[in-house]
Amino acid sequence: MSRLQYMNLKTLYKHIAPEKIILHSNRTTNVRCSRLFSKLSNWGTKKTNTKIKLVYLPEGMADPQTEQILAPLRAAVKKQGDLIRSLKENKGSDIEIKKAVGELKVLKKQLEDKELSLQPPSEIFNRSKFADLMIRRFFYDQSFSIYGGVAGLYDFGPMGCALKSNILEQWKRFFVLEEQMLEIDCSMLTPERVLETSGHVEKFADTMVKDKKTGECFRLDHLIKNRLEALIKDKKTTLEVKEECKDIIIKLDGMTTQQMSDIVNKFNMKSPTTGNDLSEPVDFNLMFATEIGPTGDQKGFLRPETAQGIFVNFKRLLEFNQGRLPFAAAQIGNAFRNEISPRSGLLRVREFTMAEIEHFCDPSDKSHPKFGDMENTTLKLYSACNQMDGKSPVEMTIGQAVSEGLVANQTLGYFMARIHLFMLKIGVTKEKLRFRQHMSNEMAHYAVDCWDAECLTSYGWVECIGCADRSAFDLTRHGEETKQRLVAERKLPAPKTVQVTELEMDKGLIGKTLRKDSKECVDKLSKLSIDEIKQVHDFIDNSTPDPTTGLTLCNIGDKQFQISKNMIPLKSYSKTMHVEEIIPNVIEPSFGIGRIIYTLLEHTFKIREKDEQRTFLSLPPLVAPLKCCILPLLDNDKFTPLVSFISKSLCQKGVSNKIDDSSGSVGRRYARTDEIAVPYCITVDFESLNEPQSVTIRERDSMEQLRIPVPEVVDLVYSLSQDNINWEVAKTKYPKFESQQNE
Amino acid sequence: MSRLQYMNLKTLYKHIAPEKIILHSNRTTNVRCSRLFSKLSNWGTKKTNTKIKLVYLPEGMADPQTEQILAPLRAAVKKQGDLIRSLKENKGSDIEIKKAVGELKVLKKQLEDKELSLQPPSEIFNRSKFADLMIRRFFYDQSFSIYGGVAGLYDFGPMGCALKSNILEQWKRFFVLEEQMLEIDCSMLTPERVLETSGHVEKFADTMVKDKKTGECFRLDHLIKNRLEALIKDKKTTLEVKEECKDIIIKLDGMTTQQMSDIVNKFNMKSPTTGNDLSEPVDFNLMFATEIGPTGDQKGFLRPETAQGIFVNFKRLLEFNQGRLPFAAAQIGNAFRNEISPRSGLLRVREFTMAEIEHFCDPSDKSHPKFGDMENTTLKLYSACNQMDGKSPVEMTIGQAVSEGLVANQTLGYFMARIHLFMLKIGVTKEKLRFRQHMSNEMAHYAVDCWDAECLTSYGWVECIGCADRSAFDLTRHGEETKQRLVAERKLPAPKTVQVTELEMDKGLIGKTLRKDSKECVDKLSKLSIDEIKQVHDFIDNSTPDPTTGLTLCNIGDKQFQISKNMIPLKSYSKTMHVEEIIPNVIEPSFGIGRIIYTLLEHTFKIREKDEQRTFLSLPPLVAPLKCCILPLLDNDKFTPLVSFISKSLCQKGVSNKIDDSSGSVGRRYARTDEIAVPYCITVDFESLNEPQSVTIRERDSMEQLRIPVPEVVDLVYSLSQDNINWEVAKTKYPKFESQQNE
């Protein structure tokens, strides 16, 4: 995720209620888990069994009655949107616009809340049961918890790790392989200068205050908002103060540090956990700093995104691609952000895996050769315009969106459609996926257009993937800073003759005349532009040279030297150009893998009808951590050879599998494999031992079973797990098996 | 790689000549490359075209004449080995033993050098051509080089990244999948306490000195050794001083910092690069430090190995495995070491990928259920004994090695055999792979046995994988530190009745009596063992209590409290045990992925006979970055549909491929694909356009070509790249194709 998206994140988090993670490391796992997650989900409350109403707009529109209720809210949003448009047209001041945008956001939030409250709940999400499963079966859990844990750091257990690995594998096939991208793998340790150039050293920061006694830190904007919201709810607060609080919350987003500090003082705000005094606000850079090498003079950071590694390798990559545009490079790897107060589980962490693509293209041609393959793909688009007008997202083909100019160009549109298809492929619920366009005030100044793929979770709509047209910003900055020509060549339609003027220093003459100063003079001269050299010429022409030496004292850079025009003649000639240099533009799809994993786990978490205790994950076979479990019906040595044979044969085909020969009924063992999302169970029973050998295979979601001949079972599971065929097809080929044992 | 192996690394590096990497970022790529690598390979010389004689012992033994020359050297090593054995038997002092071991190493080195010089060169390795290929085709290159680069940080380009990814994929299939290991993925950021427990905070350090003016740092032992070796070579040095230098070099390994400092002063050593004075020696911890969170009071490090993440998750993993031993956990991930002066390219870097396995087993049963599958595997074993006796490595089956007690146990032996097979599978040359046992002084005190898989490269024998039996060290340490029971349960053969004695503190009485001191007293009491409580009882029995209170002043931990026996009664009862608790032992195979990649690239680097300019990499298809290249014979639109069709079909099968439709003869394009190790090229020629359609397929190593019907070519390339069939088999099925164009 780029800095651009980081700015967007800041906005996003405003909509997530603050939580604190407190770990109790010395309790038994189950107690600790439920405590941890109750804290996570219900900060400030004592509920432990959370059921969260998950609501999203269904296909089509709401009924007329609902629309009637929403109409005034929609109108209020639209009116405010129009105000902003007119302010912009009439060059309103920044502060006026910022305030108006802040008010727009509040109105949008009111509309969204109302919309949600009027919809019938489409689903109840039981977050405590979900969290229990995640931790009990070690999908993921807090790192170092035997040592008390560290907020914002998570370990993936065997199932989480396999899921992650499968998602990344599919990602590589879907993007890198199919698009012939150049995948690279760069260092995480990054020297300071690189991140100065990218802007991270200066701008990648949040403002915080500290508890003067305990040193506990709080993000300043969160602190103010939470305190004022509490005041608004407090019955003792006067109406006048309530209005003031509301006004401040609206304007908070655009405030300077000083303004926020004044508010802290005015309301005499204290530490929310201890009531102690607070320090003055300080900017806290979110990068982890370290020193590279033993001398202590080479400052470095852990990269906050993987993108910079691609930009600094641009020249090598272009060369690898034989100098041709467009091409895309990709990188999967970890990045780090020293969040002030990490929360929301995997959604906001200090160490995370990203997958980023940088598609380099000609700035004047952002068409995409494969756009035709995608143009009929329908996406749910939430345009900036609709956001300002109080309207809902709209279903539209990407072809239409690009041709209408809603999405800036084909390449951006192509990637959005590909992202949409990828997310569905790995199992994200279609209705819970939308693309939200950044409003102009959310985007970095250099960005042309930016769309976030957002997923609906129990924490609200969460940005999982950013997809931005970053123009030529990054390569331009790194090129300027390093004096490297980070450019590509574009063939001219016809050769062009241009007039070239070059400085031809007479270094011999300079050396002879200036002696020990000559090197410095040459260095400074070579940094001047042709226009500046011309100015020096003019200066010499208009001055009286030293009569003995014939030289003139001139300013060269920040110093003065005695020189003559002979030392710095300009040469002009005409040159025929066949190519011109361009700085490529960059389209950047940037995937937050941890967020995608979390979303996917929420979307596929299910509870069996009629049995609240049986939870399972309906992950698609393609990404399920284990594809298959092999169960002997009973703990009996007779079954062992066939069980091992099937397991080995699956391994040879690369199909991950597990033997579950633990005690317990088959039904109980099925339930256990359901919890870790195993899509297929092969059961070896007494019938399996008779010729012709056969086994049963059970599908997780439907719990249906088929009877399969042993020689065919490995190929069948392989094909099912590769998505080459699906269960419905398998059912047409093999007889149904009715279990003696009820599940 | 664990701390244990780190200690071994220290030894290893003594045999690698020191080099310095100086980067010239503003030159064109080719100039920079050859400069960089000439520095790398020939520090202190001006040669740029390095050919390195790579010598290794062939199968069987050397001829009798050679053995005659080596005999006295072998005898000298053996004599020294015997001396060490007798010193150990007779409990010689540590210093005596250390000195003797140091001398043994020098004698071993002399023997090895002589052996090498007497062997006919089996191969010439042209390191400058190799380095040129690596950088020109961007397999890997220094990170951030447009910013001047950072020593010890490397980026993998598209081909290096794909190779790495394929090696890791094979590793997962070979180890994780086949052995049903529990793969996890833990945080790299690690809080200080974890690494204090593991010993890294205290011991993971090198001693260095600084140039007082420039601040440049030097590893102290390297500095001394290099300086003394220069003195020995200097004709002006007296014989007496030369002898003293030799003596110091021998003893250097066992010296204290003070002793080394005295040597620096005695020989008046200066900075080798500037001649400036040097600072006092300081210990430099090799971990990268940072701060987690904004408060500044949570110190953390980037992990120096991945192993600790597995140990701290032991409880969760055991639970996931339903409490059963043995099981293995695995982790692939990056680790970091802030080397004082990184060198030798990918062999010694600051950020690297490791793959580690921790196999947890019952300390009393280190047999392995699948050892039978491996026992006939023959490895080249270089035992500690043979190293001490001046003998060469010996070929032996792992079954024999374990049954003779040379390898400590079946599990260790099983992994060594699996490592051997894995390395051959990915393409390491068998003759350049050996297992070297650690001598007792190389091993950490807790290790039972340790074998390094070493590969011969142009830098000498390089440790790529460590395989150690670490006993119960790690779990014991973390368990003690966190007061968690990091144990497993072992079923007793029969229930056992045991007498249990427990402390039953009367906290009410303590509280009432000691009031504000009671909490501290209870804390300290709970840290005492039962025996220590008994001692307190005895003390009270033998003392005169305070007449008014009836209490006795006792030492509890490091404080004194007025207590009585009533407060701390001991309760004894008998208990029937069905299980006993054990701390599992750990067998740890630890893979340095960067070193394996480097070794593999060196081992597969080839130069075509009769054409010195044509270099290629004979990587096995299984790990080759791209499996296939598709070439239209000419730049002609007629070929495009078939070329795209084949490429798409390959993608659908997951076979990585590339279309090379650039200009240039087919022969030239073949040469280019050879350089990036593409094993198979499909060429679409004019004949391909006629029915029945067919294409040619060319194999990289043999340059042979076959004619294949189009409908079969995708399956054929898939099978070849999966190692399901090999080229020799393919040749029996399809007609040979003689190219019109000579390569």
Cβ A294–B316 below 8 Å, yes or no? no
Model confidence pLDDT, tens digit, residues A416-446? 999 999 999 999 999 999 999 998 766 666 7
Q: What is the pLDDT at residue A120?
A: 60
In the block, residue with structure tokens 């939200």: A436
Q: How many residues does chain A have?
A: 743
A154, A168, A185, best to mutate vs chain B, most B CBs in 10 Å:
A185
Q: What is the pLDDT at residue B205?
A: 87
Cβ A193–B322 below 8 Å, yes or no? no
Q: What is the pLDDT at residue A299?
A: 94
A141, A222, A292, A653, best to mutate vs chain B, most B CBs in 10 Å:
A292
* 3 state DSSP class of A281: coil
Model confidence pLDDT, tens digit, residues B623-639? 999 999 999 998 888 99
Partner residue opposite B292 with nearest CB, options A29, A188, A350: A350
Contact A622, A723 (CB under 8 A): yes
Q: What is the pLDDT at residue A740?
A: 56
Res. A485: pLDDT tops 80: yes
Q: What is the pLDDT at residue B32?
A: 27
Tokens at A94, concatenated: 């920044």
Dump the DSSP string for A702-725: T--EEEEEHHHHHHHHHHHHTTSS
Distance CA B552, CA B3 (A): 47
Model confidence pLDDT, tens digit, residues A166-188? 999 999 999 999 999 999 999 99
Give the dihedral sign, CA A91/A96/A98/A99: negative
pLDDT band for A48, please (50, 70, 90 cuts): very low
For residues A708-735, average pLDDT: 94
pLDDT band for B359, please (50, 70, 90 cuts): very high
Q: What is the pLDDT at residue A45?
A: 32
Nearest to B624 by CA among B695, B680, B683, B708: B680
Q: What angle do CA B96, B7, B473 make, to 5 degrees?
A: 100
Q: What average pLDDT does the structure give for chain B?
A: 86
First to last CA, chain A: 45
Torsion of CA A698, A704, A707, A710, to 10 degrees: -20
pLDDT band for B55, please (50, 70, 90 cuts): low
**Residue B177 carries which DSSP code?**
I
ipTM of the complex: 0.83
Contact A710, A691 (CB under 8 A): no
For A172, nearest residue in chain B (alpha carbons): B654
Q: What is the pLDDT at residue A55?
A: 53
pLDDT-wise least confident of A187-191, B65-69, B417-421:
B65-69
Cβ A189–B351 below 8 Å, yes or no? yes
Res. A741: pLDDT tops 70: no
Q: What is the pLDDT at residue A731?
A: 94
Which residues of chain B make contact with A482, given a CB cutoff of 8 A?
25, 146-147
Cβ A144–B180 below 8 Å, yes or no? no
Q: Note the Cα A679 to chain centre separation in Å.
A: 29
A628-632 and A657-659 strand pairing? parallel
A201, A208, A313, best to mutate vs chain B, most B CBs in 10 Å:
A313
Give A465 to chain B, closest Cα distance, Å.
Answer: 22
Beta strands in B337-377, from DSSP E residues, in sequence order:
351-361
B142, B316, B318, B649, best to mutate vs chain A, most A CBs in 10 Å:
B316
**Residue B703: Cβ within 10 Å count:** 15
Q: What percent of chain A has pLDDT over 90?
A: 59
Model confidence pLDDT, tens digit, residues B210-229? 999 888 888 898 899 989 99
Q: Note the Cα B201 to chain centre separation in Å.
A: 20
Higher pLDDT: B371 or A526? It is B371
CB neighbour list of residue B344: distance below 8 Å, 6 or more residues apart: B16, B19, B40, B459
Distance CA B401, CA B424 (A): 20
Cβ A482–B25 below 8 Å, yes or no? yes
Q: What is the pLDDT at residue B297?
A: 80
Distance CA B118, CA B460 (A): 16
pLDDT band for B56, please (50, 70, 90 cuts): low
CB neighbour list of residue B361: distance below 8 Å, 6 or more residues apart: B325, B326, B411, B584, B585, B586, B587
Give residue B620's identity as a one-letter amino acid code: P
Distance CA A521, CA A498 (A): 30
pLDDT band for A708, please (50, 70, 90 cuts): very high
Res. B671: pLDDT tops 60: yes
The alpha-helical segments, DSSP class H, found in A15-157 are 29-41, 64-89, 94-118, 127-136
**Residue B614: Cβ within 10 Å count:** 16
Q: What is the pLDDT at residue B708?
A: 96
Res. A81: pLDDT tops 80: yes
Partner residue opposite A312 with nearest CB, options B147, B289, B334: B147
Partner residue opposite A322 with nearest CB, options B146, B157, B662: B662
Give A211 to chain B, closest Cα distance, Å.
Answer: 10
Burial of B148 (0-12, 13-18, 19+ CB in 10 A): middle
Tokens at A733, concatenated: 């080929």
What crossing angle do the helices spanning A158-171 and A593-604 adopt, rounded to 10°? 110
Q: What is the pLDDT at residue A122?
A: 56
Res. B77: pLDDT tops 80: yes
CA within 13 Å, CB half, B499: 4
In the block, residue with structure tokens 């270099």: B615
pLDDT-wise least confident of A461-470, B94-103, B332-341:
B94-103
Dump the DSSP string for A384-423: HHHHHHTPPPEEEEHHHHHHTTSSS-HHHHHHHHHHHHHH
Contact B147, A482 (CB under 8 A): yes
Contact B608, B701 (CB under 8 A): no
**Residue B174 carries which DSSP code?**
I
pLDDT band for B24, please (50, 70, 90 cuts): very low
Q: What percent of chain A has pLDDT over 70?
A: 89
Give B414 to chain A, closest Cα distance, Å.
Answer: 18
Q: Count how many pairs of residues, chain A against chain B, have C-beta atoms within 8 Å.
A: 227
Higher pLDDT: B550 or A617? It is A617
Distance CA B468, CA A191 (A): 36
Partner residue opposite B150 with nearest CB, options A138, A154, A292: A292
Model confidence pLDDT, tens digit, residues B509-543? 999 998 888 888 988 888 888 888 999 999 999 99
Q: What is the pLDDT at residue A143?
A: 96
Q: What is the pLDDT at residue A28?
A: 28
Q: What is the pLDDT at residue A105?
A: 81
First to last CA, chain B: 45
Partner residue opposite A155 with nearest CB, options B138, B151, B184: B184
For residues A586-597, average pLDDT: 97
Give the bridge partners for A589, in sequence order: A467
Res. B9: pLDDT tops 90: no
Contact B586, B358 (CB under 8 A): yes
Tokens at A316, concatenated: 């090598």
Q: What is the pLDDT at residue A6?
A: 43
Distance CA B322, CA A137 (A): 11
CA within 13 Å, CB half, A76: 15
* 3 state DSSP class of A35: helix
Dump the DSSP string for B605-624: EEE-TT-TT-EEE---TTT-
